[in-house]
Homo-oligomer: A and B are copies of this chain.
Amino acid sequence: MRIAVLGGDGYCGWATALYLSRKGNAVAIIDNFLRRQWDHELGAQTLTPIRPLAERLSVWRELTGNFIESFVGDVTDYDFISSVVREFKPEALVHFAEQRSAPYSMIDRKHAVFTQVNNVVGTLNLLFALREFQPECHLIKLGTMGEYGTPNIDIEEGYITIEHNGRKDLLPFPKQAGSFYHRSKVHDSHNMMFACKVWGLRATDLNQGVVYGTMTDETVLDEALINRFDYDDVFGTVLNRFCAQAAISYPLTVYGKGGQTRGFLDIRDTVRCVEIACLNPAARGECRVFNQMTEQFSVLELAEMVQSAGAKLGLAVEIDRLPDPRVEAEQHYYNAKHSKLIDLGLQPHYLSESLLDSLMNIAVKYRDRIDTSLILPRVNWRCPNNDRRQQVNGSAGASVETGQFEGAELARKQPA
């Protein structure tokens, strides 16, 4: 199958492109390297030393004989993306090419506007390019479980049957996303549903949980194929972040009560879920939603698991509770359905002790690369202007109206 992976140089995109290539698909990576640019902006870098895309691809070809084509450009540039669609003629188009960090979108107005415009325009461009040039192509779009927020009812997969005043209808599940980034994904979902309806496009919206892990069967083949591992406060996802913290015996940063519960999955399941979506395309006119997660955990549960895994390696890991820089429920009901991908053949890699051990080992292997100034949260949801530069230089952090925000102060604390 001809599969275009947009954002194929990023964390999930890279692992997915290699996996799909190894499975014999003709894969193209489309990327503009903005993700690497954001590292420069934030003064951060992945824990693992990733290589430039050209080197990654040439090593992949050497090792496996598989050629992955690459197109360098921006999905918000319609001339570019429509010409890629016309030239490559994908049968499936996997869209990871969005700004995907909630804290990044909450830094200030410019970052909020950038995130929403970038994500919404990129997805609109893809919808128009497919309508104009490749209407049979299956759009597989990465959404997020965060689109749903934390309602007090079970979360269904995209749609819910509502009975009301004696009538009923199957309607889009109400969305209560918790950041301007998460809202941008909600906007995308709405635009996709509409485009499928009016143009008969076929789409799958993968509402993905928080991804952990970095190794897949493909990325371990060579050091040059290593995947990203983000541990900083802006792009780091919680479990990877905790492992990096534990590796240097830095207290795990639990925000608030730690009862925030989310869906999670192993990156090896991410790549398989995308493959399942490719192999089972949505019908023309259908905008299908899969909840792409395998388990749910609270943040505190994860912290305790990492603490135990650290102890086995002789690391003394404390848990620190910081005031929550986000505005979110710190204790809540959470029950998110996620059976559709299982029904189509997903065999989950559940979070086990051995996986945690291997995650910890990676973190320990690269721990000399950890910059502790990047760990504590410096983006406060309540503040419309989070000046990260100032904070990096040690001056006062943003004040929270409901109590002093301690991020900046804690940031000066050194790890044990």
Interface residues of A (CB under 8 A from B): 78, 109, 112-113, 116-117, 120-121, 124-125, 128, 131-132, 151-154, 160, 162-165, 167-169, 171-180, 183, 186-187, 190-191, 193-194, 197-200, 327, 333, 381-382, 384-385, 401
Contact = CB atoms under 8 A, between A and B. Distances in A.
Contacts of A116: 120-121, 124, 187, 191
B183 A194 contact: yes
A125, A128, A132, A333, most chain B CB atoms within 10 A: A128
A381 B200 CA distance: 12
Nearest to A184: B187
Nearest to A191: B183
Contact of A384 (B132, B174, B191): B132
Given A116-B121, A197-B327, 17 more contacts: A109-B124, A112-B124, A113-B124, A128-B384, A152-B167, A153-B162, A153-B163, A153-B169, A160-B162, A160-B174, A162-B174, A175-B190, A176-B193, A180-B191, A183-B190, A187-B190, A199-B382
Contacts of A154: 164-165, 167
A363 to B, nearest CB: 32
Given A120-B116, A160-B164, A162-B153, A172 B180 contact: no
Q: How many monomers of this protein are in the complex?
A: 2
A164 B153 contact: yes
Contacts of A173: 174
A177 B197 CA distance: 11
Nearest to A165: B154
A174 B156 CA distance: 13
A198 B328 CA distance: 9
B162 A132 contact: no
A385 B129 CA distance: 11
Contact of A177 (B194, B333, B382): B194
Nearest to A130: B384
Contacts of A198: 327, 381-382
Contacts of A128: 109, 112, 384
Contacts of A197: 327
Nearest to A78: B109
A48 B128 CA distance: 37
A414 to B, nearest CB: 32
Given A124-B112, A174-B173, A381-B198, A165 B153 contact: yes
Contacts of A180: 124, 191, 194
Given A171-B174, A199-B384, A327-B197, A187 B153 contact: no
Nearest to A129: B109
Contacts of A401: 200
Contact of A125 (B109, B153, B183, B186): B109
A193 B128 CA distance: 29
A167 B384 contact: no
A128 to B, nearest CB: 4
A106 to B, nearest CB: 8
